[in-house]
């Protein structure tokens, strides 16, 4: 079957909005010369490298093509023993925590950022891979399995990569697991934010004016999260929970949020500033369906929320896991003057935890002084804080 209908459909969309369907002409040229092997389970990251374009923008383009009915999105589940695709679903709601590989005759657990791949196929009304090709591909897979030569694609779009494209969450908001299922995740970065004294804002400014400030706060947060490849998981009152694929993205977003509110508070010249408290942690968790939306549960989420509770107004506090991430450390070296190391007791966490308050350069409005922790700050949740020596160690020194 030729690609004429598929190419025409994409060409019409590119003509209507070439800027959104990046890189329109390159993609069209590729489609015109594509064969069955190219169009069967398209690996967008591999295609981006082939076309020498950005991976994330091209992934967003394919997500738009799914929304327009030109492409179908596949959730492919690779066997963790042999790497073959043991199951594939068009909707995440059909996914399960465990699958069975008929080639290995073993059961395995699915991990969203390990063995769950997102691929794309042309919509069936526009293009169909031939039966002979599929039969040949099946025989090849069986032969490779016998020789133990099946490899995971490198690179490939993982389930976590797809879920952290803001456009995917906007266009497919209800695309999530069934209520009874969950999927493991090896690492996700979680940010929790809250406003210091938000209740007092309503008392001082009145409902209408205070709501305007809270609304501006959400817009600033949502924009900065999106700009740094994160997604807002949910809001809880004035608090926000956001997730990021990489810890460094979360740190970069936190910096942007901090500086944006510094600028906002100066510009608005209000009596009470919007002082955002922010906590960051990264680790393993599980993805679930809560209120028909993607959500995350587990100790990593709990830790991030508790770490946020140790932050003062205008402060960012990060966990030891963030402090140990190489890319995040480099951002800290460039973006803050120093870090203050503390050992704190967190509610519901059995062992004391090491956290780090980030001290920005200069005495910025909206933050407490970037000096040492005062005696009044020397307890958290009733437990003495063990300070590093010196209390505010330079980032470079603390990294060693």
Model's pTM, two decimal places?
0.88
- The CA angle 386-391-395, to the nearest 5 degrees, is 115
Domain closes at, from 116, 131, 163:
163
Q: Are residues 227 and 139 in the same domain?
A: no
> Which CATH number belongs to the domain containing residue 224 in this structure?
3.30.70.1230
Count of domains observed in the chain: 2
Q: Could you tell me if residue 169 is inside a domain?
A: no
Q: Could you tell me if residue 168 is inside a domain?
A: no
Q: Which residues of the chain have pLDDT under 70?
A: 1, 268-272, 362-400
Domain that holds residue 186: 182-399
Strands 183-195 and 230-236: unpaired
Locate 317 and state its tokens.
């506090």
pLDDT digits (tens, 9 = 90+) for 100-152: 999 999 999 999 999 999 999 999 999 999 999 999 999 999 999 999 999 99
> For 354, which DSSP code?
E
Q: Could you tell me if residue 279 is inside a domain?
A: yes
Instruction: Express the helix, strand and coil content of the chain in percent, nearest 5 each.
Output: 40, 25, 35
- Return the number of other C-beta atoms located less than 10 Å from residue 189's C-beta: 29
What pLDDT shows up at residue 273? Answer: 79
What pLDDT shows up at residue 17? Answer: 81
Q: Are residues 41 and 117 in the same domain?
A: yes
Q: Are residues 159 and 198 in the same domain?
A: no
What pLDDT shows up at residue 392? Answer: 40
Q: Any alpha helices (H) in the chain, and if so which ranges?
A: 4-16, 24-33, 36-39, 44-51, 55-67, 131-146, 159-163, 166-171, 198-205, 207-227, 247-268, 299-309, 320-323, 326-335, 395-399
Determine which helix (DSSP H) or strand (DSSP E) holds 233, and give its type and residue range.
Answer: strand 230-236
Report whether the peptide linkage leading into residue 155 is cis, meaning its omega lies within 30 degrees of zero.
yes
Q: Could you tell me if residue 189 is inside a domain?
A: yes
Q: Could you tell me if residue 175 is inside a domain?
A: no
Q: Are residues 189 and 127 in the same domain?
A: no
What pLDDT shows up at residue 272? Answer: 60
Domain closes at, from 135, 163, 191:
163
Q: Are residues 310 and 389 in the same domain?
A: yes
319: closest CA among 354, 348, 358?
354
Q: Are residues 116 and 226 in the same domain?
A: no
Domain closes at, from 163, 191, 222:
163
Q: Could you tell me if 344 and 383 are in contact, meaning their C-beta atoms sit under 8 angstroms apart?
A: yes
Q: Are residues 84 and 216 in the same domain?
A: no
């Amino acid at each position: 079957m030729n690609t004429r209908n598929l190419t025409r459909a994409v060409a019409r969309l590119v003509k209507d909005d070439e800027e959104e369907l990046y890189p329109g002409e390159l993609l069209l040229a590729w489609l015109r010369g594509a064969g069955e092997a190219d169009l069967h389970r398209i690996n967008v990251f591999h295609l981006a490298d082939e076309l020498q374009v950005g991976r994330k923008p091209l992934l967003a383009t394919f997500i738009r093509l799914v929304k327009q009915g030109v492409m179908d999105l596949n959730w492919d589940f690779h066997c963790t023993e042999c790497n073959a695709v043991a199951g594939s679903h068009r909707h995440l709601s059909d996914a399960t925590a465990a699958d069975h590989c008929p080639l290995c005759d073993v059961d395995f657990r699915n991990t969203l950022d390990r063995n769950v791949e997102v691929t794309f196929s042309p919509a069936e009304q526009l293009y169909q891979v031939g039966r002979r090709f599929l039969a040949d591909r099946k025989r090849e897979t069986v032969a490779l399995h016998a020789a133990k030569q099946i490899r995971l694609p490198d690179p490939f779009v993982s389930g976590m990569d797809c879920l952290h494209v803001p456009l995917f969450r906007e266009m497919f908001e209800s695309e999530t697991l069934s209520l009874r299922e969950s999927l493991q995740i090896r690492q996700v970065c979680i940010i929790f934010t809250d406003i210091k004294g938000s209740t007092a804002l309503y008392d001082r400014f009145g409902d209408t004016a205070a709501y305007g400030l809270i609304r501006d706060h959400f817009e600033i947060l949502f924009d900065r999260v999106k700009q740094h490849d994160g997604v807002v998981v949910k809001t809880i009152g004035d608090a926000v929970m956001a997730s990021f694929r990489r810890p460094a993205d979360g740190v970069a977003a936190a910096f942007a949020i901090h500086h944006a509110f510094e600028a906002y508070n100066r510009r608005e010249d209000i009596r009470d500033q919007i002082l955002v408290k922010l906590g960051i942690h990264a680790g393993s968790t599980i993805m679930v369906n809560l209120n028909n939306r993607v959500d995350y549960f587990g100790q990593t989420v709990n830790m991030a929320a508790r770490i946020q509770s140790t932050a003062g107004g205008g402060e960012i506090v990060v966990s030891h896991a963030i402090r140990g991430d190489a890319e995040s450390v480099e951002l800290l070296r460039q973006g803050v003057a120093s870090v203050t190391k503390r050992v704190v007791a967190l509610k519901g966490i059995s062992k004391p935890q090491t956290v780090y308050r980030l001290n920005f350069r200069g005495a910025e409005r909206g933050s407490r002084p970037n000096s040492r922790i005062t005696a009044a700050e020397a307890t958290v949740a009733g437990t003495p804080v063990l300070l590093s020596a010196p209390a505010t160690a330079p980032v470079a020194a603390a990294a060693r």
